[in-house]
Amino acid sequence: MRRIVMTIILVATCAGSSGATEPPQPAYSAANAIPLPDGRWDLLSVDPAHHLVLIARGDSISIVDLATGTTRKAGTVSHGHAAVPIDGTGLIAVTSGGDNSVRLINGTTGAQTASIAVGQNPDAAIYDPESKRLIVMNAKGGTVSVIDPQAVKVVSTITVKPALELGALIGPGLLAVNDEDANEIELVDLKRGVTLKPIALPGCEGPTGIAFDAADGLILSACANGQAALVDARSHRLIRLLAIGKGPDGVLFDASRRRFLVPCGQSGILSVFAVGKSRAVNALSPINTEVSARTAALDPVSGRIYLPAARFEPATGGGRPALVAGSTHLIVLVPTLSH
């Protein structure tokens, strides 16, 4: 297994026009990578209560124990897309896109406890601790499934539009979800089970990842054309476009450090934006990661960032590139104090 030996230091100052003095920018260093089983991956999450990283894989979940740096396989899925912890239960929910289901997996034993039928091609999912509901975006079906994991059932299905990507809760019972084909953010009132007027994203092609800064009322959506759309969640309007790398499939917001973070797998960078006073958003120096590191998860307690990556052979005959055996790993970026 190839190990990450680079150390990346990010030192920058905001280029804000207000003239206000901003706090020092944090730096990141790359810790040793954690080996992962070979195979493709999709979305991942951090379970801070159990010190785990949960990665949706093609046929299972990879559970990474952050205390020991070891990984184990759990559950069985068909084209896993997202794996998220269900707070207070020890369960992991994983979307199984190949058979239109959500599987509940015991995080300790790795055994499946339930399978719940949802819409076509369930992709991204988020857990709402306030309502204790799992919210699943069914990409091809264009619906949102709201699941009660305790009762093990779908409590509502809301019709939206096809090509739903990642979502974020931007208020009590209010879901914002990227629509990759319509180039807009769909707004879903989860309590009433209805859709609201979408937010148009002119200049943003193929939005996927999304994150929300609750304190400032800002949304950032990552677009496939090297842009990110900064949106005012209060007025539901696009503020401006920000340049990012190529190949993003996720966005993070670190509330403690007031940073939007966009993993760009084609460029092999993490685009970073600081949120300053008066909601000013400024680009900081990008962090070098690796080509293929397109999804990421943030530990809200430690501030560490986790990005799966691997090496691939050159594609031949128009097919997908083959993965280099033994190269799959989890990049670990650690925030450090800057002076």
Residues 215 and 333 in one domain: yes
Residues 257 and 335 grouped into a single domain? yes
Same structural domain for residues 36 and 84? no
Which two three-digit tokens encode residue 188? 């879903």
Q: In this structure, are 93 and 119 located in the same domain?
A: yes
pLDDT at 271 over 70: yes
Predicted confidence (pLDDT) per residue in 288-317, tens digit: 999 999 999 999 999 999 999 999 998 888
Across the chain, what does the average pLDDT equal? 91
User: Do residue 144 and residue 269 come from a single domain?
Assistant: no
User: What secondary structure does DSSP assign to 123-181, as a single string?
Assistant: EEEEEETTTTEEEEEETTTTEEEEEETTTTEEEEEEE--SSEEEEEEEETTEEEEEETT
Note whether 288 and 274 are same-domain residues.
yes
The model's confidence at residue 25, banded by pLDDT at 50, 70 and 90, is low
Query: Residue 181 falls within a domain, yes or no?
Result: no
Residue 176 lies in a domain: no
CB 94 within 8 A of CB 102: yes
Contact (Cβ atoms closer than 8 angstroms) between residue 28 and residue 335: yes
Residues 6+ apart with CB under 8 A from 235: none
Residues 213 and 151 in one domain: no
In a domain, 200, yes or no: no
In this structure, what CATH number is given to the domain that contains residue 64? 2.130.10.10
Q: Which domain holds residue 52?
A: 42-159
What's the whole-number mean pLDDT along residues 133-148?
A: 98
Distance CA 122, CA 60 (A): 15
Instruction: State residue 6's pLDDT score.
Output: 34
Q: Does 315 lie in the same domain as 214? A: yes
Report the C-alpha gap between 201 and 192 in whole angstroms: 25
Dihedral angle sign, alpha carbons of residues 271, 276, 279, 280: negative
pLDDT digits (tens, 9 = 90+) for 66-112: 999 999 999 999 999 999 999 999 999 999 999 999 999 999 999 99
Indicate if the pLDDT at residue 330 is higher than 50: yes
277 secondary structure, DSSP code = G
Which phi and psi angles does 277 have, rounded to 5°? -70, 155
Q: Is residue 58 part of a domain?
A: yes
One domain for residues 76 and 126: yes
Domain count, the chain: 2
Percent helix, strand, coil in the chain, to 5, is 0, 50, 50
